[in-house]
Amino acid sequence: MPPPHRVVIVAFPGTELLDVTGPAEVFSVASRVAEADGAAYLVQIATADGGPVATSSGVRLMADLTLEDVAGPVDTLLVAGAIESADDGGVEPVTDRAVTHWLRHGAFRARRIGSICAGAHLLAAAGLLEGRPATTHWLTAARLAAEHPGVRVDPDPIFIRDGQVWTCAGVTSGMDMALAMVAEDHGQDLALATARMMVMYVKRSGGQSQFSVPLSVQSSEDDRIDELRMWIAEHLTDDLSLEALAARTHLSVRHFTRLFQQRTSTTPAAYVEAVRLEAARRLLEDSDRSLPEVAAASGLGSVETLHRVFRRRLGTTPAEYRRRF
Supply the pLDDT for residue 215: 43
Angle at 9 between CA 182 and CA 215, to 5 degrees: 50
Closest CA relative to residue 253, chosen from 269, 275, 237? 269
Query: Which superfamily does 213-325 belong to?
Result: Homeodomain-like (1.10.10.60)
CA distance 147 to 129: 12
Closest CA relative to residue 180, chosen from 170, 107, 171, 168? 168
Given a contact cutoff of 8 angstroms between Cβ atoms, the answer to whether 116 and 19 are in contact is: yes
Which of 296-299's residues contact partners 24+ apart within 8 Å by CB, and which partners? Answer: 296/237, 297/236, 297/237, 298/236, 299/236, 299/237, 299/238, 299/240, 299/272
Task: Mention the CATH class of domain 5-197.
Answer: alpha beta
Q: What is the mean pLDDT of each run of 10 residues along the chain (325 residues)?
A: 90 97 96 82 97 95 96 94 87 95 93 97 97 93 93 88 93 92 90 88 54 46 77 92 94 93 87 92 90 96 95 89 80
Supply the pLDDT for residue 209: 39
Closest CA relative to residue 27, chosen from 112, 98, 128? 112
Supply the pLDDT for residue 206: 52
Supply the pLDDT for residue 305: 96
What predicted TM-score, i.e. pTM, was given to this entire model? Answer: 0.66
In one-letter notation, the amino acid at residue 10 is V
Query: For the chain, which residues make up each domain, given as ranges?
Result: 5-197, 213-325
Going by the DSSP 8-state scheme, the letter that residue 167 receives in this structure is E
CA distance 203 to 212: 9
Supply the pLDDT for residue 28: 96
Supply the pLDDT for residue 234: 87
